[in-house]
Amino acid sequence: MAAVGLLVIGIAAMFLRPFGAPIWVGPVAAGLIGLATRIIHWNAASDSLHLLTKPLLFLLFAVPLAILLDRIGVFEALAATVDGGDHLAAGLWLLATAVTIVFNLDASVVLLTPLYIRIAQRHGYPPEMLAFQPALLACLASNPLPVSNLTNLIVAERFGLGVADFARHLLLPTIAACVVGWLCFRRVFATESPSHIAVDEPIDRAALRRGLPIVGFVLLGFTVGSALGVTEWIVAAIAVAWAALLATHLPWRAIPYEAMLVAAGLGVLVAGAGSSLLLASIFDATGAVGHARVLLYGVVASDASNNLPAVLAGEAALHDRSQVWSLLLGANIGPVLVISGALSGLLWRDTARRMGIKVSARRYSEIGVKVGLPALVVASAVLLATHG
Backbone torsion region of residue 84, taken as left when φ is above 0, otherwise alpha when ψ lies between -120 and 50, otherwise beta = left
pLDDT at position 254, please? 74
Phi–psi pair at 65, nearest 5 degrees? -60, -45
Q: Strand, helix or coil at 193? A: coil
pLDDT at position 204, please? 80
pLDDT at position 129, please? 93
Q: What is the DSSP code string of 110-167?
A: HHHHHHHHHHHHHHT--HHHHHHHHHHHHHHSS-SSGGG-HHHHHHHHHHT--HHHHH
pLDDT at position 200, please? 58
Whole-angstrom distance, CA of residue 40 vs CA of residue 174: 37
Instruction: Assess contact for 76 and 70: CB atoms under 8 A.
Output: yes
Whole-angstrom distance, CA of residue 14 vs CA of residue 340: 9
pLDDT at position 259, please? 79
Whole-angstrom distance, CA of residue 326 vs CA of residue 117: 34
Cβ count within 10 A of residue 166: 24
pLDDT at position 280, please? 60
Q: Mind listing the pLDDT tens digit of every residue in the chain (388 residues)?
A: 787 788 888 878 877 778 888 888 888 998 899 999 988 888 888 887 887 788 788 878 887 888 888 889 887 787 777 656 668 899 999 999 998 998 888 878 888 898 898 888 878 888 899 999 999 999 999 999 998 998 998 899 888 898 899 999 999 999 999 999 999 999 999 866 666 555 556 778 888 899 889 988 887 887 777 667 788 889 889 999 999 999 888 878 778 888 788 888 888 887 776 655 556 667 776 778 888 989 999 999 888 878 888 888 888 778 778 899 999 999 999 999 999 888 888 889 888 887 889 998 899 999 999 999 999 999 999 999 987 6
Distances (CA, A) of 250 to 290, 344, 381: 47, 23, 44
Instruction: Assess contact for 46 and 280: CB atoms under 8 A.
Output: no
